[in-house]
Amino acid sequence: MRTFLKIIKQHIVWRHQLVKLAKADLVKTYSGAALGWVWAIIKPMVMIFCFWFAFGVGLRLSKGDMDSGYPFILWLIAGMIPWFYISEIITAGANSLRQYSYLVTKMRFPIATVPTFVSISKLMVHLGLVIITIIIFALYGHPPDKYLLQLPIYILCMFLFFIAWGTFSSMLTCMSKDFYNLVEAFVQALFWLSGILYDVHTMDVPEWLRVLLLFNPITFIADGFRNTFIYKVWIWETPNTFWYFIIMLTLMAGLGLWAYRKLYKEIPDVL
């Protein structure tokens, strides 16, 4: 608890610097490109188009049409939009301390806050994509409704989980580059093992396997976005999946606190 309170205090004291560094990280990511921030939109849209063409046209899988009456492209967008933030922060969070090592070694910047401002930077792009998603749904004849009020809850859950992930993974990456290579290798596996391209609740699999898949925090987030945009289900109407997520969030936060407590004194010397 003492470590947790220390990290919270650091975030409060350095809150203004975190916002400034997040903006600087965002500018740095897209600087040097003629289209600049437009790439933050182009890359996700190209990926969504490819998956829509492969599954919706090539394989003629129209899961969204069968279950909700929504076009498959909307069903696909709702589930994939959070993935672009998640995939970015999985690797960027793990590499955050190495990327910004000078903040730790030369400026004595609080170690635990580095993954946070990197996550805020990626979240800014994600919020832009969410706004575009809302506009796309409106153009298809599905304007914003009351269920959109719960979307900030899912975004906050996602943000908190991956801050905890960044704290844990960045510490281990500093100690061994092999851990970061392992993270990069498993990103695509996480995409296919999460409920982004399929509905875990309707899969014809043993119940124990379904429960195991529902413990995946990425599945919870993808389901939450679809419940908001497609199925019109409130978060309290699916209490089991919410508690699965809380268990995983608590576990990840515990791992992050453990890694910080064990390694934070060694990180400046290692970097």
Q: Where are the domains of the chain?
A: 2-270
pLDDT number for residue 37: 64
Pair 200, 220: CB distance under 8 Å: no
Residue in the block written with tokens 């419940």: 227
118 Cβ contact partners less than 8 Å away, ≥ 6 residues apart: 22, 25, 89, 92, 93, 96, 99, 100, 166
- Tell whether the model's pLDDT for residue 38 goes beyond 90: no
pLDDT reading at 33 higher than 70: no
30 CB contacts (<8 Å, ≥6 apart)?
36, 37, 39, 40
d(CA 128, CA 135): 11
66-97 pLDDT, tens per residue?
A: 455 788 888 888 988 999 999 999 999 899 98
Here the tokens at position 262 are 């064990």
pLDDT tens digits for range 157-193: 999 999 999 999 999 998 888 899 999 888 888 888 8
Per mean pLDDT, which range of 86-95, 96-105, 141-150 is the poorest? 96-105
Tell how far CA 199 is from the center of its chain. Answer: 19
Q: For residue 205, what pLDDT band results from cuts at 50, 70 and 90?
A: confident
Instruction: State how far the Cα of 77 lies from the Cα of 65, in Å rounded to an integer.
Output: 13
36 pLDDT above the threshold of 80 = no
> For 13-17, 32-36, 62-66, 91-95, which range has the lowest pLDDT when averaged over its residues?
62-66
Terminal Cα-to-Cα distance of the chain (whole angstroms):
27
Structure tokens at 242: 């919410």
Q: What is residue 64's predicted lDDT score, i.e. its pLDDT?
A: 45
Rounded to the nearest 10°, the torsion over CA 166, 167, 168, 172 is 90
Instruction: Return the pLDDT at 170.
Output: 92
Going by pLDDT thresholds of 50, 70 and 90, the confidence category of residue 266 is confident
Q: Are 137 and 97 in contact (CB under 8 A)?
A: no
Mean local confidence (pLDDT), 264-268: 79
pLDDT at 59: 54
113 DSSP assignment? G
Is a pLDDT exceeding 50 seen at residue 102? yes
**Would you tell me how many other CB atoms lie within 10 Å of the CB of residue 65?**
15
Q: For residue 14, what are its two tokens?
A: 């350095």
* pLDDT confidence bin for 23, thresholds 50/70/90: confident
Residue 68: per-residue pLDDT: 59
- Give every CB contact of residue 102 below 8 A, 6+ residues apart in sequence: none
Q: What is the dihedral of CA 42, 195, 231, 40, to 10 degrees?
A: -10
Q: pLDDT value at position 224?
A: 94
